[in-house]
Structure 1
Amino acid sequence: MGLKHTRCFSSTCSKFNAVVASSFYDLKAKDIDGNLVDFSLFKKKVCLIVNINEDELIRMSKDLNILAFPSTEKEVTHEHTPPQYNVDSILRQPKEAQEDIKQVIHDTFKVMSPIHLNTINEHEVFAFLKEKAEELEKKIARHPEQFEGEDVSVIQMFTKFLVNRKGQVVARFGRDVEPDQMNVWIEQLLAEKP
């Protein structure tokens, strides 16, 4: 597995001495049933990764692989302050709540186990996605140095990361971007040959 050390951009960033995968396909995460999902399963597929509030589920095309990571509104904060509560107890979902989520979404998208965001214990998937999205923004910007020290925290529920068939993060969308506004991006990626 290709891993590398990264630096931290803010006090809420999880990358204090964190090891981040160098490839999307090196990542692993548990699904809502506790089964380990190896992201190599998503090779040559378009993926949309989103942090969701379990009360707000989204509908998407079944041709698109959506990996949904439940997280708490308290971890996704505009203040960028370290949480003052026990995250582990909040993220432990009662089994009934997990069953309700699974009933609603069926096979539309894959729901992962609840994870940490913007904390010292941030899940490696989001550490990777945030780093790659920041690299993408630097490439697009005329003056990449303006991003030095930029906070890359996920500051809203429903932050969405779009990954192409090559495992590259090609876009990051905020809460206000509705699924239908991403259709052009998604259709273009789905049309590309694997």
Structure 2
Amino acid sequence: MSIYDIDVKLEDGTQYSLERYQGQGMLIVNTASKCGFTPQFEGLEALYKKYKDGGFVVLGFPSNQFKQEVATAEEAAANCRLTYGVTFPMHEVIKVNGKDAHPLFDFVTSHSKGILGKSVKWNFTKFLVNREGEVVARFGSTDKPSSFEEDIQKVLA
């Protein structure tokens, strides 16, 4: 199984396959609207705008597993768009850990170990995927988007 075999749903419920991004670099982020790291949306948007024409996309996945998300995907997306100017794709509210974790997060966590092993420790854990669909880096909540810009450049080179 590859990352391109996984289906996801946008904030409005539209389902699509990650095959859409085959050949591109991806940054997959579990987000939350009421988290102390929520201002990272600004840095994520800056990276998206800077590198999207070079084949890079940021994918936001709201999660309420840490009790810091608003009720619906639409509300979460509206909040980050209005407050932080986010234009990258935002998705449905999902689970990132446990038996009900979304298949995408099962995939990215099983292909990268974090401080708690496979589990996502907190909101704004970020997974960098290269153009071949391989998870090449994992960044924690405290890692600001600007701190791994060089890693994104390597993926896009």
Residue 92 of structure 1: CA displacement?
A: 4.4
Larger Rg: 1
Residue 80 (structure 2) aligns with: 101
**d(CA) in 2 for partners of 1:114 and 1:102?**
16
Aligned-partner Cα distance in 1 for 2:98–2:140: 19
Which residue of structure 1 aligns with residue 13 of structure 2? 34
**Residue equivalent to 1:175:** 141
Aligned residue number for residue 128 of structure 1: 107
Equivalent pair of 1:91/1:115 in contact (CA under 8 Å): no
Q: Does 1:156 align with 2:119?
A: no
One-letter amino acid of the structure 1 residue matched with residue 103 of structure 2: E
User: Structure 1 residue 95: deviation in Å?
Assistant: 4.7
Q: Quick one: which amino acid aligns to residue 162 of structure 1? A: L
C-alpha distance after superposition, 1:1-27 (max 9, x if no partner): xxxxxxxxxxxxxxxxxxxxx201001
Q: 2:95 corresponds to which residue?
A: 116
Q: Does 1:46 find its partner at 2:38?
A: no
- What TM-score do you get using the length of structure 2 for normalisation? 0.79
Q: Conserved in 1, the CA contact under 8 Å of 2:9 and 2:15?
A: yes
| Aligned equivalents of 2:91, 2:75: Cα separation in 1 | 15
Q: 2:60 aligns with which of 68, 80, 87?
A: 68
Select which of 107, 119, 131 maps to 1:165. Answer: 131
SS in 2 for 1:37: strand
Unaligned 5+ segments in structure 1 are 1-21, 77-89, 138-149
1:132 and 1:167 mapped to 2: Cα distance? 11
Whether contact under 8 Å (1:46, 1:190) holds in the other structure is yes
Aligned to 1:190: 156
Q: Is the partner of 1:129 in helix, strand or coil?
A: helix
Residue type of the alignment partner of 2:155: L
> Which protein has the bigger helix share?
2
> 1:82 maps to what in 2?
none
Query: CA contact under 8 A between 2:62 and 2:76: conserved in structure 1?
Result: no
TM-score if structure 1 supplies the norm length?
0.65
CA distance in 1, matches of 2:75, 2:7: 25
* Structure 2 CA distance for aligned equivalents of residues 94 and 178 of structure 1: 24
User: What is the CA distance between 1:46 and its match in structure 2?
Assistant: 0.4
